[in-house]
Structures are given as C-alpha cells and as structure tokens.
Amino acid sequence: MIRAIRGMKDILPPETSRWQWVEARARETFELYGYREIRLPLLERTELFARSIGADTDIVAKEMYTFADRRGDSLTLRPEATAQVVRACLENGLMRGAGVRKLYLMGPMFRYERPQKGRYRQFHQINCEALGSDAPELDAEVILLLLDLLGRVGLKNLRLLINSLGCPQCTVDFKAQLQLFLKAQEGWCDDCLRRLNTNPLRVLDCKSQHCKALLAAAPVMEDSLCEDCAAHYRRVLSLLDGAGQPYEKNPHLVRGLDYYTRTAFEVTAVGLGAQDSVAGGGRYNGLARDLGGADLPGLGFAIGEDRLMEVLPQEAGPDETSLSFLAALGDAARERAFFLLREIRAQGLSADMDFEGRSLKAQMSMADRLGAAFVVILGDQELAEGTALLRRMATGEQEAIPLNDLVPALTVHLGHKEGN
C-alpha cells in the first residue's frame, strides 16, 4: 500500500473542524483590524527565497524543496510567505495610492526538516503582513492583533518576547562588536564557526545549548541602536505598556531569517508543560529592496498553525454538530427519509442517512460516529401512523412526532446554531 511522505501529515475529521474554527476566528480578527486576504501560489522561483531569506540561513542552505521544472527553471515550494507577499505587492502594484496595505494569508509551507513532534515538512501558517509604513504604532498594532487573535482561540499564559534588531547603519557597529566577542571565545559549534565570519548575527540564533550558554555574556543589540532605531523601539514598548500588554525584552531574539530590521517578536504558550513558540514576526524594511523593488517598509508575523492546534485548550473549538440523522427501516421508510433529507437541508440544517439498509443498531452507531444531535427513527409502523420517533442523542429522550411537524421541530431545536 502506498503511504504518505515522511514528515507530511493527513489532517482528518473531526480535527478539521477545529482547524476551520481557528481559521474562522483568525479571519474575524483580521477583519476587525482592516486586513484583507491574499492567496498566492505554493511555487515560486528559487531566487525569491535565496535573495530574501538569506543564503546562509538553514532554510535556504538545507531545508528548501527545490527542483528544476520541465524547462529547467529552478522552482521552490514556499518555505515561508513574507517574501512572496512582498513580491506580489510589488508585481501587482498593490501599493499604488494605498498608504498601508494590510494583508493576511493562510496555507501550507514546506521545509525539509527532521520530522519531530509538532514539526512537519508540510506545515501550516496564518500570516499577517502590513506594508507601507515604518510607524511604531503599526508595530504595536500588529503585535496586539496577534495576541488578540491567540486570545480569541482560547490560548492563555502567553509570553511576548521582543527585541529590536536595528537598521543596517546600527548593525554595522554591533556586528563588529559581536565578532570580537565571538572570536575571543572557544567552543562554538561548526555552524557558528562558519557564521562567525559570514553572518555573526546568525550565531545569536544557534539552537545548540553549548553556544547558548556561551552567548549569555555577548554584547546586546539594544546598546548599539542608532538614535532613530532606539526611539522607534522605545515608542513600540511604550504603546504596549499603554495597552496593558506585558512583554519580556529578549536581546538574543533575532528570528531565523536575514531580512528582519528593528522590531522582532515571538509569542510562546505554555502547553503540556513545554514552552512552545506559536508565533513570531518582525519588521523587514529592507526586504522589498533586496527583491529589486523600491523601499517598502513593512512588518508581519506567522502563526504556526500545527503547533497552535497542539496547545489549543480542549474546550476550544466549534459547538457540537447540529446534524440530524434519519434512521429508516424498510424500503418505503427509506424512500420517505430520502425526501425528508431534502426538506431538512432546504432549511439550512445538516442531515444525513444510511443508504445500505443496515439494522437499526448499525444506523444508531453510524449516527453516533457522525456526532448527530438528533436521530429520526422511521419504520413501517411509524410511516403508517404518519409519525416518526425523534431522539435527542445527548439525553436519550425520545418522542413520537407527526411527520408533518418534523422539519419545523428540528428547525426550532437546531436553527439557532446557525452561524457557528
């Protein structure tokens, strides 16, 4: 039997209902803040990611799904969305007369990572991108939106970590200082030894516990910020203070990609005893220019949806289903039920039945598996009397009801659930 590819996950019902519910809450939240959806291809030219994310990052060096198409062009399954959102804005002239463009995107991303719990090679993100402004108010708004969204899906005990990565001017100084520090220490991992010369900021992001320990005494970016960047950072923090949003400054937060400038942030959730980063983002003022466009400041975040689902509280999710299941016994009852289905569905209520002529017991367990709220039992005797048995599954209560009253009764019981 052919199996799914390693690191790829099937998302199955009823879990899919929770995914839909989370995505619906995300859409609502984005709408509140004036965002519109953008849908982009899964495939892009490899160059787009190589130039934006940075050739020395793990993503570009080791993790991209890259292949030549039939013409020999190098294509890559998107490992993240920001670069392609910026590409689409530039290419489609979305910034013309727009002021700030607020966009969101949901969908799968692809990275060839070692599969482990909560990490997949096709993973899913909810992305937010706000382009066209360098105002610190926008940074604060994007961060507050993220926490608002995570709160609306029921996450508690969230920790906001924040840092400023400065601009190209202030990083020059900092990189030099950092390099001096790094070279004065022994014991860096092989990756860090290489990055120490090519891209010292990457070292701050190293996952090795040993490197992390060595970094405790490293110089701190905040001390090297230029006047503009320092003022920007102070303003973001004071807006978060004013909004009553707690945060922790984390000088080692650099995020995995090269294009970040100024504000960088991450949100972790305490779930199942482990600290999990569920979302992260930051400013990328230089990104559009890296892609050959004009200056276009912007910032955004990505929520790891697979991780989010793992830390989602048990009670979060859609209300129980409002399905009615028609359990019919005998040919005549089955035919009547077939047309009753149409009447119930015409009222906007979900309904289903069995077409295989199974026993009542088998049909009841089918109704149970589908999570039916009501079962309508219809046999030859009921049909002759013009009635049906209406059974409420949660309580087991059962009543005989005239067939003509059945659809109105279901509408009364289930109608209010619409809009879930």
Taking alpha carbons only, the member of 411, 258, 418 closest to residue 343 is: 411
CB of 168 to Zn ion, least distance (A): 8
Q: What's the full length of the chain, in residues? A: 420
CA dihedral 320, 326, 327, 332 (to 10 degrees): 180
Which of 214, 375 has the CB closer to Zn ion?
A: 214
Taking the least distance from each CB to Zn ion, the nearer of 218 and 226 is 226
Which residue, 128 or 192, is less far from Zn ion as judged by CB? 192
Structure-token pair, residue 270? 């305490």
CB contact at 8 A, 223 and 26: no
Q: In this chain, which of 22, 182, 201, 211 binds Zn ion, going by CB under 5 A?
A: 211
106 or 211: whose CB is closer to Zn ion? 211
C-alpha to C-alpha distance for 137 and 63, rounded to whole angstroms: 35
Cβ pair 115, 7 in contact under 8 A: yes
Under rule CB under 5 A, residue 167 binds Zn ion: yes
Q: Give the nearest distance from C-beta 193 to Zn ion in angstroms.
A: 8
> Does residue 218 interact with Zn ion by CB under 5 A?
no
Question: Can residue 296 be called a binding residue for Zn ion (CB under 5 A)?
Answer: no
Q: How far is the CB of 188 from Zn ion (least distance, A)?
A: 5
Size of the site for Zn ion (CB under 5 A): 11
Q: Which is nearer to Zn ion, 188 or 374 (CB)?
A: 188
Give whichever of 103 and 206 is closer to Zn ion, judged by the CB atom.
206
Q: Is 192 in the site for Zn ion (CB under 5 A)?
A: yes
Smallest distance, Å, CB 164 to Zn ion? 9
Of residues 214 and 388, the one with the C-beta less far from Zn ion: 214
**Contact stretch for Zn ion (CB under 5 A) within 4-12, 18-26, 170-178, 380-388:** 170-178
Is residue 291 close enough to count as binding Zn ion by CB under 5 A? no
Smallest distance, Å, CB 268 to Zn ion?
A: 21
214 binds Zn ion (CB under 5 A): no
Nearer to Zn ion, 191 or 320 (CB): 191
Q: Choose, by CB under 5 A, the member of 64, 131, 206, 364 that binds Zn ion.
A: 206
Cα(131)–Cα(84) distance, integer angstroms: 13
Q: Is 226 in the site for Zn ion (CB under 5 A)?
A: yes
The three-state secondary structure class of 418 is: coil
With contacts defined by CB under 5 A, name the span among 23-31, 142-150, 163-171, 305-313 that binds Zn ion.
163-171
Q: Contact with Zn ion (CB under 5 A): which of 208, 245, 321, 350?
A: 208
CB of 70 to Zn ion, least distance (A): 40
Angle at 260 between CA 68 and CA 41, to 5 degrees: 35
Q: Locate 85 and state its tokens.
A: 């959102």
Which span sits near Zn ion by CB under 5 A: 14-22, 164-172, 216-224, 232-240? 164-172
**Cα atoms in the 13 Å half-sphere on the side-chain side of 102:** 14
Does 178 help bind Zn ion (rule: CB under 5 A)?
Answer: no
Instruction: Single out the residue of 319, 337, 144 nearest to residue 246, CA to CA.
Output: 144
* List 75, 170, 204, 214, residue binding Zn ion (CB under 5 A): 170
Q: In this chain, which of 22, 81, 143, 229 binds Zn ion, going by CB under 5 A? A: 229
Nearer to Zn ion, 52 or 263 (CB): 263
Residue 402 φ/ψ, nearest 5 degrees: -60, 140
Give the containing element (helix H, strand E) for 401: strand 398-402
Please state, in angstroms and rounded to a whole number, the distance separating the CA atoms of residues 170 and 184: 22
Among 166, 280, 286, 298, binds Zn ion (CB under 5 A): 166
Q: Which of 189, 316, 341, 407 is close enough to bind Zn ion by CB under 5 A?
A: 189
Q: Whole-number minimum distance, CB 211 to Zn ion, in Å?
A: 3
118-124 contact pairs (CB < 8 A, 24+): 118/276, 118/306, 118/307, 118/310, 119/306, 120/7, 120/8, 120/9, 120/306, 121/5, 121/6, 121/7, 121/8, 121/65, 122/7, 122/8, 122/9, 123/304, 123/305, 123/306, 124/304, 124/305, 124/306
Tokens of 217: 């005494």
Residue 393 is a binding residue for Zn ion (CB under 5 A) = no
**Three-state secondary-structure class, residue 55:** coil
| Chain positions contacting Zn ion, by CB under 5 A | 166-167, 169-170, 189, 192, 206, 208, 211, 226, 229
